[in-house]
Amino acid sequence: MPQPHVQIILADDSVPATLDAALKRVGASAGFWPLTAALERSSLGAADAFVVLLPGDGRGAGDRLRVLLDRLADCPRATLVLKSDGGFVPRIAHPPTVPVTFGSGISEDELAIRLATMLEMRRSLESLHRSARCEDRSRETSNDHYVAQLRQASRVQRELLAGSNGRYGGVSFTTIYRPEDYVSGDIYDISRLDEEHIGIAIADATGHGIPAALLTVFIKRALRGREAWGDGYRILQPDQVLSRLNEDLLSTNFSDCQFVACAYALLNTRTHELSFSRGGVPYPILRRRRGAASVLKCEGGVLGIQSGVQFPVQRVQLDAGDSLLFYSDGLERVVSPSPGGARVAGAFGRAARYAARPALASIGAGGEDVGGGTCVATLDEPDALVTCDGDSDVSGDARHALLAGADEFITTSDWFQTLAVDGMSVALDRLNVRYDALRRIGFALDDLTAVAIQVHA
């Protein structure tokens, strides 16, 4: 495999030491051009990614940077814009086909993660760019090519996921991964951390389509359940994993899809003790061997809204015959396909823990699609008024009561009763069958992802 190449474009003479170290960590070579020279070139070359370094005081580089970003539309590459002194970088308008992030105060670790993600994006960006050029030549032909490229992107995204089924000792895993379109904003991961520990993650990026799918690449790399520690390693607890992902999302300053719902669990395969933290995804469902099924309630808001959020850890002892299900909010649409209610309830319930501005952002992230209803929110402190077409007004402390709405929607469904009576395997099979049936009749579905953990004798 050829060595990846990052082109550094300088509007300043200094290169941060953290950037040099991050390039070495990802194994990339680097070339350096002054910004003026880059603008004079007839071609920007074949770099896998670009990093633009602006002077600390700006010195009027904004107009030249805008011209450079417009030039990149002809050969789109992931681009990171930094200031040489680590200062704040204001957003600059750029072509929508060029994925640009603006960073400030980035550490060596964060830079390495960003560079690795940017390098992995090249193939997808080239495929999309080729499809767009075909469209200029022939709309009908280009549409066929575009669909083919989306199918290829779908295959690539699936290859990034863990195997759909696996067994570790007395514990087995079964997954459902049903994108609403070719690519998905959902992702899951099942990683063996050492001889006794398995890390399980499920995440749902805001939005749909390619922007959300590209963010899942970043999420997968950022969900690190183990890290080097002295001469060995240490296993990170679920709250640590989510806290780090939350800070990573905030520091990346993504222009789109900055909100993520996620759950992370740590399973000891010897003792069968499972600990988990959640941030915005639905509560997991626990089914005991004798058929008692319930949701495990654990607080935690969506990631990427504000810094310093705490993610409580909940522990559960699993015994032979028990099963546990983590899933994205797409399950609600399948088991109880009614518009509006539970989805709105979940969005406002999650928002109830935040001050007004972050709360509105949370509602925008979690309630982007309410099944055709219109949702208007006014959040003041200490009271709030929520108005939804077809639903009653909700104000003040009633926001907290809404948090249970989505869970009641699922636990009162026929599918939940199937889970309790017939077991996890039968319930997952029926979930797949129902998803296919609803898709055939044109029902508006969401991305659906689920990870089931089953303990055997």
User: In this structure, what is the dihedral angle of CA atoms 149, 151, 155, 161, given to the nearest 10 degrees?
Assistant: 110
Look at residue 388 and tell me whether its pLDDT is greater than 60. no
User: Could you write out the DSSP letters of every residue in 29-77?
Assistant: EEEEEEHHHHHH-S--TT-SEEEEEE-TT-TTHHHHHHHHHHHGGGS--
Tell whether the torsion through CA atoms of 361, 362, 365 and 369 is positive or negative.
negative
Q: What are phi and psi of 5, to 5 degrees?
A: -125, 130
In whole angstroms, what is the distance from residue 207 CA to residue 204 CA? 9
Q: Which residue has the higher pLDDT, 397 or 439?
A: 439
Give residues with Cβ within 8 angstroms of 345, minimum separation 6.
Answer: 402, 403, 404, 405, 406, 409
**Are the C-beta atoms of 226 and 244 separated by less than 8 Å?**
no
Distance CA 145, CA 166 (A): 35
Report the pLDDT value the prediction gives residue 343, as an integer from 0 to 100.
47
Q: CB count, 10 Å around CB of 427?
A: 24
Regarding predicted confidence, which is higher, 309 or 13? 309
Full 3-state SS string of 126-146? HHHHHHHHHHHHCHHHHHHHH
At 183 the pLDDT is 80
Structure-model confidence comparison of residues 144 and 8, the more confident one: 8
d(CA 360, CA 377): 8
pLDDT digits over 333-378, tens only? 899 765 444 444 455 544 544 444 454 444 444 443 333 333 334 4
Residue with more model confidence, 256 or 114: 114
Give pLDDT, residue 391: 41
User: Phi first, then psi: what are they for 65, rounded to 5°?
Assistant: -65, -40
Whole-number Å distance between alpha carbons of 278 and 310: 10
Band of pLDDT at residue 70, cut at 50, 70 and 90: confident
Nearest Cα to Cα of residue 202 among 312, 149, 135, 281: 281
Instruction: Among 57-66, 73-82, 214-223, 356-365, name the one with the lowest average pLDDT.
Output: 356-365
Q: How far, in whole angstroms, is CA 271 from its chain's centroid?
A: 30
Contact (CB, 8 A) for 68 and 54: no
Q: What is the mean pLDDT of the segment spanning 154-160?
A: 73
Examine the pLDDT at 293 and tell me if it is beyond 90: yes
pLDDT score, position 54:
85
Q: What does the pLDDT read at residue 89?
A: 80
Please choose, from the candidates 202, 201, 205, 159, the residue with its C-alpha nearest in 3D space to the C-alpha of residue 185.
205
Could you tell me the pLDDT band of residue 398, with boundaries at 50, 70 and 90? very low
pLDDT higher at 265 or 379: 265
For 192-229, how does the pLDDT look when each residue is reduced to its tens digit (9 = 90+)? 999 999 999 999 988 767 777 778 888 888 888 888 88
The owner of tokens 């200062």 is 87
pLDDT in tens, 222-280: 888 888 888 889 999 999 999 999 998 888 877 665 689 999 999 999 999 999 999 99
Predicted pLDDT at 129: 62
**How far apart (Å, rounded) are the C-alpha atoms in residues 90 and 330?**
35
Who wins on pLDDT, 9 or 136?
A: 9
Angle made by CA atoms 283, 187, 153, in degrees to the nearest 5: 155
Task: Among 109-113, 216-220, 449-453, name the most confident range.
Answer: 449-453
Confidence at 416, pLDDT banded by 50, 70, 90: very high
Of residues 82 and 142, more confidence is placed in 82
Tokens linked to 451:
């990870």
Higher pLDDT, 400 or 133: 133
One-letter identity of residue 121: M
CA angle (44, 45, 50) in 5-degree steps = 70
Domain boundaries, given as residue ranges, for the chain: 5-120, 161-332+413-424+442-455, 341-402
pLDDT of residue 133: 63
- In this structure, the number of other CB atoms found within 10 A of the CB of residue 31 comes to 11
Looking at residue 282, its pLDDT comes to: 92
The CATH class that applies to domain 5-120 reads alpha beta
Average pLDDT, the chain: 79
Which residue is listed with tokens 């003041």? 380
Partners of 10 in the β-ladder:
34, 53
pLDDT of 314 > 60? The answer is: yes
pLDDT confidence of 106, banded at 50, 70, 90?
Answer: confident
Q: How confident is the model at residue 66 (pLDDT cuts 50, 70, 90)?
A: confident
Q: Give the residue-averaged pLDDT of 174-190.
A: 88
- 73 pLDDT exceeds 70? yes
Instruction: Answer with the residue of higher pLDDT: 207 or 430.
Output: 430
415: part of which helix (H) or strand (E)? helix 414-422
Which of 291, 194, 188, 284 minimizes the C-alpha distance to 233?
Answer: 194
Q: Which CATH number fits domain 161-332+413-424+442-455: 3.60.40.10, 3.40.50.300, 1.20.140.10, 3.40.228.10?
A: 3.60.40.10
- SS3 of 241-273: the string is HHHHHHHHHHHHCCCCCCCEEEEEEEEECCCCE
Give exposure, 141-171, as e/b (b: 16+ Cβ within 10 Å). ebeebbeebbeebbebbeeebbeeeeeeeeb
pTM summary value: 0.58
Give the residue with greater pLDDT, 235 vs 132.
235
Per-residue pLDDT band for 84 (boundaries 50, 70, 90) equals confident
